[in-house]
Structure 1
């Protein structure tokens, strides 16, 4: 059996001291997550992050930098995810746009609201990514090279 981690991306988008999150269904529960998803064939990590954010939230964004890379093994399916997290800014909302299957809604939450809802986070990576951002761990986009 060949072990292959799943390559995923996520974004941390802050506006007016609130963070863009998705409320979604995961394993039969309503949870909060960053806009996130899998890398598609023939796209860059950056393209995947912009696409996933639009598909899950209805927001066009501009990436500004990289927060970091994490490995996470899901307790629900034992799959290892290799997650690259970016940060950026919200540009334009498309409220008429249908959101991806499983997404209930896009929400803006303060850090305090997120901490208070920590038992409803999809994974520990949600809060960790925002804490990376708040602590100034930010890197230029050209940190990723081809």
Structure 2
């Protein structure tokens, strides 16, 4: 059996003390997450976070830095996730755009509200990314390079 972690991306957008999140159904529960999702074949990490943010929140996202790269093992699901978390700015909100399946809405939430309700978070990666962002963690976008060769 070949072991393969899930490679995902997430967007941290911050405005006026609040963070862009999505409310979505996961495991039968309504939870909060950053706009996030899986890397698709042939897609760069930056392109993936731009696409996922648009599909899940109806906001355009411009990545400016990498906040962190996180490996998380979900014992409940017996799965490993490798998440690349980007920070950047959003603009051009399209409120009439349909959102991805399972996404109920995009909303802006302050970190104190999130800390007060840890059971509402989809994973511990949500708060970790926000904490690292607030601590000033930033890495250049060119930390990851696409190498295409046969």
What is the aligned partner in structure 1 of residue 38 from structure 2? 38
Deviations 1:58-78 (A, max 9, x none): 000111100111111223321
What is the aligned partner in structure 2 of residue 145 from structure 1? 145
**What is the count of residue pairs matched by the alignment?**
146
Mapping 1:117-132, distance limit 5 Å = 117-132=117-132
What is the aligned partner in structure 1 of residue 52 from structure 2? 52
Misfit runs of 4+, over 2 Å: none
CA distance in 2, matches of 1:53, 1:76: 26
Structure 2: gaps spanning 5 or more residues: none
CA distance in 1, matches of 2:34, 2:79: 19
Structure 1: gaps spanning 5 or more residues: none
CA distance in 1, matches of 2:69, 2:54: 21
Moved more, 68-77 or 45-54: 68-77
TM-score of the superposed pair, with normalisation by structure 2: 0.94
CA distance in 2, matches of 1:75, 1:58: 32
TM-score of the superposed pair, with normalisation by structure 1: 0.97
Deviations 1:8-46 (A, max 9, x none): 100111011110001000100010011100001111000
CA distance in 2, matches of 1:35, 1:51: 10
Which SS does the other structure have where 2:136 is aligned? coil
CA distance in 2, matches of 1:6, 1:126: 16
CA distance in 2, matches of 1:11, 1:64: 10
What is the aligned partner in structure 1 of residue 77 from structure 2? 77
